[in-house]
């Protein structure tokens, strides 16, 4: 039922000592993410082929898409798709639209899944410093009026959702979720039992997450992922592309298995922002 009571990525939050402050994302940037596209469909442009914006190509998903941008990644060009709510853009997962209240807190999230096709609308109302009301409507196209469910979840003194399956440290970082433990160093999750992460401590983490009530997001820019699985060698390459205002436009994960399959896989997420005029 409450599939989005759990966070889909890591998170904003806190700073000073009042609970009202804890309920606001800790961001010097006044812009808020308004739209995300998760795992865009891509087309690797062969050498010598010309692809232009607006052209129709066949993506790695096997579906047609209209080229919205062309990215140069490690000397190779990738055509990527753009916003398309009808097709639920994102070659694999979803797109999402976000709205905020006057204090900059998430008030509504509309997440559209491609597989299975569904639109999940969730409204957030901050009833008090210790209570968050979540109303979720799941539209799978089965009913003329999709069912809605409302739940009030308790918040701790940091404004974080109290969940028996989650443990936070004193600063509000998640150190356990379910059976997975996280090691927090200098405000960053540096790893778990499966992977280790490295960061550039001179650069802030540009990846937004409006679900600030599920714990603080990493403080700095993640630069590498190291798999701890010794049976399978895998190499990762992380890249970030920014828009003219300095907000993150794309975060890109490239990876391959050099010993068994050297082909490079590419996962690209896109972000759109709403900034005060």
Distance CA 74, CA 252 (A): 12
CA–CA dist 183, 259 (Å, integer): 29
28 or 252: which leads in pLDDT: 252
Q: Which of 7-21, 85-99, 161-175, 181-195 has the lowest mean pLDDT?
A: 7-21
Indicate the pLDDT class of residue 98, thresholds 50, 70 and 90: very high
10 Å Cβ neighbour count for 98?
21
> For the segment 165-219, what is each residue's pLDDT rounded down to a tens digit?
999 999 999 999 999 999 999 999 999 889 999 999 999 999 998 999 999 999 9
Contact 256, 221 (CB under 8 A): no
Mean predicted confidence (pLDDT) in 117-131 = 94
The H or E element that residue 21 is part of is: helix 19-22
Run of H or E residues at 22: helix 19-22
Q: Please state the pTM of the whole predicted model.
A: 0.84
């Amino acid at each position: 039922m409450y599939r989005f009571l759990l966070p889909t990525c890591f998170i904003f939050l806190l700073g000073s000592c009042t609970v009202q402050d804890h309920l606001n994302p800790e961001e010097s940037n006044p812009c808020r993410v308004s739209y995300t596209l998760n795992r865009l469909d891509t087309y690797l442009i062969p050498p010598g082929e010309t692809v232009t914006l607006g052209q129709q190509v066949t993506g790695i998903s096997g579906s047609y898409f209209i080229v919205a941008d062309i990215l140069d990644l490690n000397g190779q060009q990738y055509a990527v798709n753009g916003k398309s709510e009808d097709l639920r853009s994102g070659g694999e997962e979803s797109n999402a639209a976000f709205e905020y209240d006057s204090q900059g807190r998430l008030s509504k999230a509309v997440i559209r899944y491609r597989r299975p096709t569904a639109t999940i609308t969730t409204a957030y109302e901050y009833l008090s410093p210790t209570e968050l009301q979540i109303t979720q409507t799941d539209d799978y196209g089965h009913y003329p009026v999709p069912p809605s469910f409302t739940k009030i979840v308790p918040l701790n003194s940091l404004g974080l959702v109290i969940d028996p399956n989650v443990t936070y440290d004193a600063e509000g970082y998640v150190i356990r979720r379910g059976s997975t433990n996280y090691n927090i160093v200098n405000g960053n999750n540096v790893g778990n039992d499966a992977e280790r992460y490295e960061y550039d401590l001179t650069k802030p983490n540009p990846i937004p997450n409006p679900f600030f009530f599920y714990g603080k997001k990493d403080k700095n820019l993640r630069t590498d992922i190291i798999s701890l699985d010794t049976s399978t060698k895998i190499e990762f390459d992380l890249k970030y592309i920014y828009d003219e205002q300095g907000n993150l436009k794309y975060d890109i994960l490239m990876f391959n298995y050099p010993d068994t399959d050297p082909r490079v896989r590419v996962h690209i997420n896109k972000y759109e922002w709403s900034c005060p005029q």
